[in-house]
């Protein structure tokens, strides 16, 4: 459920008051903080988690976030998965949010921060379509409001565990991005998303590792392969049979193994690997699928493969 302050506040307060302080904390499904740019899809992300059985709250005072975290840590609580949508509209709130993240981390309840982002042109179009003003634009333009919010949230974005750029995502696409990562969040394994994309559609901003595979021959120029995509066997066989493919894949897997301890040291639970080619149809798709397969064989990772531009012209 998405809980709005003023509607079910009494229920939430009662749940908190009934918690016992003499019990051992239960396992860890960390509280999730959903934040990000206005118009980037915070409410849509909240609805996805709600449909997955999360207790989702919205627009609550920052101080209550700590109480919610304590609630899900209590074995007697009926709620074990909580997400909080933080609609940041003031510098004071940003400061409070950063302080709360630090406080929860010190208590061993480090929240998972999901930051929703989108390109400026997309945000402008969304606000125009809804005929809404930006909460921070004041007497200025819509772009002024977006720039102010980006500046205010830059520190939060930098430290976020998950960054989702919704510029090119439909609501259904967003669900496909969130569900695989959060369905098994209770385990301590790292979550790896391998996404293919086409450079002609723009580089993804929500990535940790970006690889350009345009050094491989392009199946687009093979007439009998052009209608297919990298998920189809003829194209996959063609791409993976190239002389440079196997050495590259071996080197990449070795590189990723070298990087993993660093990600773990930084507490990074979610890792995004982006594989790019020209259009995002053939080479990047085939390589992303193969990297995903090899990562799954590791046995200690949750792996999700997605193809951002496979259906785009």
Q: Binding site for GTP: which residues? A: 87-90
Q: Which H or E run includes 101?
A: helix 91-106
Q: From residue 160, how far is each of 154, 164, 165, 271 by CA, in Å?
A: 10, 10, 13, 12
Q: What b/e string do you get for 78-88 counting C-beta neighbours within 10 Å, with b at 16 or more?
A: eebbbbbbbeb
Rounded Cα gap, residues 35 and 41, in angstroms: 9
Helix (H) or strand (E) holding 11: helix 9-17
Angle at 269 between CA 42 and CA 205, to 5 degrees: 55
Q: Can you tell me which residue has the tokens 């002389």?
A: 243
Structure tokens at 164: 């989702």
- Whole-number Å distance between alpha carbons of 190 and 181: 10
* Residues tagged in the binding site annotation: 87-90
Tell me the C-alpha distance between 265 and 242, whole Å.
36
- What is the end-to-end Cα distance of the chain in Å, rounded? 38
């Amino acid at each position: 459920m998405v809980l709005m302050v003023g509607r079910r506040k009494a229920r939430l307060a009662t749940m908190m008051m009934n918690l016992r302080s003499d019990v051992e904390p239960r396992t860890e499904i960390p509280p999730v903080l959903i934040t990000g740019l206005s118009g980037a899809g915070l409410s849509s992300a909240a609805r996805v988690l709600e449909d997955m059985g999360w207790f989702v709250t919205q627009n609550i005072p920052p101080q209550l976030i700590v109480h919610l975290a304590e609630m899900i840590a209590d074995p007697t609580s009926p709620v074990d998965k909580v997400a909080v949508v933080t609609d940041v509209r003031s510098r004071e709130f940003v400061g409070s949010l950063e302080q709360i993240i630090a406080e929860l981390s010190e208590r061993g309840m480090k929240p998972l921060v999901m930051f929703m982002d989108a390109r400026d042109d997309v945000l402008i179009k969304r606000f125009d379509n809804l005929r809404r003003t930006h909460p921070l634009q004041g007497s200025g333009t819509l772009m002024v409001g977006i720039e102010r919010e980006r500046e205010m949230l830059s520190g939060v974005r930098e430290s976020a565990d998950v960054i989702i750029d919704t510029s090119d995502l439909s609501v259904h696409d967003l669900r496909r991005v969130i569900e695989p990562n959060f369905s098994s969040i209770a385990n301590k394994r790292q979550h790896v998303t391998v996404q293919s994309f086409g450079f002609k559609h723009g580089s993804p901003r929500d990535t940790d590792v970006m690889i350009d595979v345009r050094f491989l021959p392009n199946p687009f120029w093979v007439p009998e392969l052009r209608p297919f995509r990298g998920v189809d066997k003829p194209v996959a066989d063609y791409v993976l049979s190239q002389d440079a493919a196997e050495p590259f894949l071996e080197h990449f897997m070795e590189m990723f193994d070298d990087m993993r301890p660093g990600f773990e040291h930084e507490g990074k639970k979610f890792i995004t690997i982006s594989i790019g080619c020209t259009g995002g149809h053939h080479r990047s798709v085939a390589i992303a699928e193969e990297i995903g397969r090899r990562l799954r064989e590791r046995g200690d990772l949750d792996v999700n493969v997605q193809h951002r531009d496979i259906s785009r012209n």
